[in-house]
Structure 1
């Protein structure tokens, strides 16, 4: 690497030993490393040196990392400098949000993994280098354009016309580049939040699995007393709301598992009218405009119901004195991509939820679909409703459009692709569950989960259903039990486990015990399959209830 291509990396920490360790780790990158033992020294370097990446310790005596990052971001010169926090304490989600609000682009947890730290710093150093190269190229281009313009001014009228055409094309290209960069940034942001929410969902769903399973068992064993039943039901409702909140996070990040099908939108809206009336209360009336020739939409019907409930509740909250909510739908054909529109050409069903509420100004409207943004008071909203609806629309191949005016209400349009053929939603027969419940005889289950709390809860559920349970807390332990003579009738394994994942365990079991049924459970939204050339595993999403567990066992057993 040429000396003039190297970028400056500023290391800020009040402990000399940690600075030396960072320097040793990053020396392999062959960049210019600058050390600062305090915020004052860091600012002195920043004011006289162009810096690509700043590595800041969160805990420092003079100014902590968050305060230093905030001061750096306030300076116009440092608005785009990449800031990475290093923390020796356990980082919570509020800490991460605070860091991102202060201007951080990444976090590193102590003890530092050298390869990870080098990779993170290298990404932002390369980004800065490429940006600098692009700026130089832009400067050269501007010089060439200026020279060409001077020459064209001395030419004929035809050359002037060609020059004007060239400038127009350059402007168009610049706009396209800016739009592409904005789309790339948005995609990266959504992906980063999606990875974060996936991890949160896994841990949270593990906890909810244990809670909901224990509550179901507890309700069976408690005396039939209304007051106790109400308490258990309230606890179960709270756990279910927690699961719903996780689903909203996953819907925003576009990582939820959707089951698209041809949905009769008119039938769906008519069928949920009574539910909406109860949810919205007596002060709100519902009007419907659903044409007879409305086409079917291709979407996950259950998620569409949840999205419409979210939109209706938002509309109700915007009308504190009551009013009317209109749910309308229409067939739409988009012939060409419109500038500024997120809707691609195609055939759509447009579903509109219209209220007569307070409306939003332009600034609020621009942030309406951002995650955790809400205009409601404390404890009155998560700020994930519109984010969830937007995630569902985009993941389904559509889009949402929001229009609003202060004092004139709000209209949210949900654009969903039309189904290729009008096929009603498939619903299970009412007595289907009873049939497989009756067929599923007591059996021995090998339960594999590294989370002891989840393992204990699931074992209790299985034993309550009359099954015998063999517990293993890792994939390796499960294989040892099988090799030592354990003969279960069925295996239920968690997907995310250290050392050997549930998917790897399933492959090993299939290689040696091909007839042994396996159920793959996970607290993540996206559950993998074995592969294109392998029979997919029955899947069980956490948190699950007894009936869902039985259904997965019945599917694995071929019931």
Structure 2
């Protein structure tokens, strides 16, 4: 409390005259004087005010002063309140002891000496004021201590959080940091630095000398020159160098460092950062190789297209356009397959099935059989053109020109040779052509010239039989499985596209749902649904029986991915349908096949055939779509 703030003094006596005399004596103290003519009144005032001193008469009719003092002391607010007894009778030692036991601090006998009473009361008033001031100061001190402690705790938490963010940032960026104390000669590495150097923190002692020894011999001179420069100039620009790990592995890193100087300008600390850029370097190398390969393949493709245009013959412009367009489309389809593998090649089954897919229906009996076989890009392109020419001839003149025709395409690897058999069977006689057209010339030039093999074209009465044998020294059967998206994926099922499936259809737009349902039914499958709301779709995904699901991504404003999760848990494949681009699909679901609206029935058929062999296979239907539908299939990495 403030020094000039008045305090309360409580005067207790049952005689008004005595109360008035106490007031006259104590008024010179300048404090607030409160009067009570009974113990009950005194207790009431005590509960209403903060009292510094209680002046109480020992002899009162209801409660004597000792009993009142005891009651005052029992209250937690007044355990330290000063109580002075006034007694008009002779006070014995027993009375004095009783007074002190009940909480009294002093006695004043009657007749009262005014100066003595004022002096005693003033002592306790000053003591009360000083005590309150000390309590105030103590509270302020405690508050400042609490605030400072909280501030330090907050700063510490921020520092810890900042260090965590720094560590996470370094880890996310493949980075490590180090610090070299020049005065102490000690060096400290963080976890990222140990990871980049491939060293064990328990056994490796980080020193500038050890760091230099881990640098590739060809880059060590530049590293030493850079460290000398940082000590002389204070910092170095980022330096690319190679690090040799304990197991002999070489990794590319980017290093940068700077010094912290003393008051005199001498460097005290050298702090540095190391960034692992091996992946970037490898990506740059792959990109350069890929750019060269793409350039090479593009020129070859243009040359092939030029030959197709130059050598194709047609009775009129329409037939010529049809021939050229079909052959270029065959090139485009196999080009897409090759690009999906980053120009490593293509699976023979995918090459032939993409060509034959339009004829694999009820009107014709088409079968494909053969072991998995991964072909190099040049062989994939050559065989795609050969299959296209044979298929074009069969569609115009052979077994596929009439309903009920049969076509069996098979291959096998025998030692170092790949043998392909194309067998047609129909219901009409087949005659050997009198002249060799562009198709036959292309087949022979491709097999015998490009692939160094041989081809036999046998026009039997029941249909054409073509046997092709080419050297297979370039292939490995095991490599064929590299197109698999995930370990344990089931191999392609050649009958999947003809199997009668139960298809769950989830689509909230009724017209689109009707169109898709009709297309699926025409494919020979059964539709479960269609369902137009999220809850129904989720319930079906968890309990209904079906083989495949077609899921509209945005279902009445709710995203479908909760339903996709339920399907994934049950191991049921699904195909996403979206009216947006690939950016609308979250990263966790970009491995799933997706078809972009508007939906074309032919593309839907091919997507279903592609997605059924494996739950999470990338949709390959883009390979056989027309150019006008180029944006309908979303291919994800």
TM-score, normalisation: structure 2: 0.24
Which protein shows a greater Rg? 2
